[in-house]
Amino acid sequence: MRLDKFLGDHNIGTRKQIKEYVKNGRCSINGVVAKKADIHVDENKDEISFDGKVLSYSKFHYFMLYKPQGVVSATTDGRNKTVLDLLADENVRGLSPAGRLDIDTEGLLLLTDDGELIHRLLSPKKHVDKVYEVHIRKELSDGNIRQLEDGIDIGDTKDDGTPDLTLPAKVEIKGMDEDGRPVIHLIIHEGRFHQVKRMLEAVGNEVLFLKRLSMGPLCLDESLVPGKYRELSDKELKILGVKEK
Ligand code: URA
């Protein structure tokens, strides 16, 4: 590929700026200062550095964010801070969150520019499981658990007007939080709007705190604090089926 394209993919600058930077001797290939921005490089073999820092070639970018409460899972928003604002230092174009969490929900959010992976994780046909830690107003009865696990009417309708029940889910009772509220893990295989809150509402309960712990094979790194993020590890990329980074 052309050197200016390679540098552009690393968000070094516009084509025009890159031409200037290269002319000023800021880029080296295998230790030799590059003279022109339109030369060809082998991104898999050549060691390309800019301002002394070696750039590795990644076609796509993958970040795990511990989404805090109070931030929206959108790419732009007129009023609230967005999850992209939290990754602003990365200066990566085209990142999108893989699915949405409500403004008052915290936890795992994957942000990437790999549209194929987003599609695979969100496609309703794939039924990727998501695990949520849910703190609720009151204890669930055995009947409530059965309803949640079998599929429940949360107000959605099919094209023919009949109730579109949620897919079978799994409830795990986890004990109490420090305020004495019951804590459960709810494992669902869809991503309907406000799904967890609506499911609990449908059994006469209420969600007081909601945190996503995992999405498919990807688990929230508990060493992250809310608002912090990191790149996915090679191991995580592998379990997500990412072949070419
Ligand atoms: N279900 C909800 O109700 N809210 C979320 O943010 C995620 C799942």
Nearest to 125 by CA among 170, 189, 186: 189
- 234 CA distance to ligand 1 middle (Å): 28
Domain segments of the chain as ranges: 3-55, 62-237
138-152: string of b/e by CB count within 10 Å (b at 16+)?
eebeeebbebbeeeb
Q: Give pLDDT tens digits for 189-244.
A: 999 999 999 999 999 999 999 999 999 999 999 999 999 999 999 999 999 999 76
- 64 C-beta closer than 6 A to ligand 1: no
Ligand 1 binding pocket includes 105 (Cβ within 6 Å): yes
Three-class DSSP category at 5: helix
Share of residues in the chain with pLDDT > 90 (%): 81
Q: Is 101 in the pocket of ligand 1 (CB under 6 A)?
A: yes
Residue 213 CA, chain-centre distance (Å), reads: 12
> Is ligand 1 within 6 A of the CB of residue 177?
no
22 lines ligand 1 (CB under 6 A): no
pLDDT at 244: 65
CA of 8 to the centre of ligand 1 (A): 37
Residue 190 beta carbon below 6 angstroms from any ligand 1 atom: no
- Centre of ligand 1 to C-alpha 186, Å, is 11
Residue nearest to atom 2 of ligand 1 (CA): 194
Q: What is the pLDDT of residues 70-126, one digit of tens each?
A: 999 988 888 999 999 999 877 677 899 999 999 999 999 999 999 999 999 999 888
Mutate which of 71, 154, 194 for ligand 1? The one with the most ligand atoms within 8 Å of its CB, which is 194
Distance from Cα 15 to the centre of ligand 1, integer Å = 42
Residue 91's pLDDT is 67
- Ligand 1 centre to CA of 183 (Å) is 16
Task: Tell me which residues are annotated as active site.
Answer: 102
User: b or e along 7-28 (b: 16 or more beta carbons within 10 Å of the residue's beta carbon)?
Assistant: bbbbebeeeeebbebbeeebbb
Could you tell me the end-to-end alpha-carbon distance of the chain, in angstroms, rounded to an integer?
Answer: 16
Q: Which CATH class is domain 3-55?
A: alpha beta
Contact 102 CB / ligand 1 (< 6 Å): yes
Residue type, 233: S
3-55 shares its CATH topology with 62-237: no
User: What letter would DSSP give residue 218?
Assistant: E
| The two structure tokens encoding residue 97 | 């969150």
Residue 58 has pLDDT above 80, yes or no: no
pLDDT in tens, 116-157: 999 999 998 888 999 999 999 999 999 999 999 999 999 999
Q: Report the CATH number of the 62-237 domain.
A: 3.30.2350.10
Report which protein residue has its CA nearest ligand 1's atom 4: 194
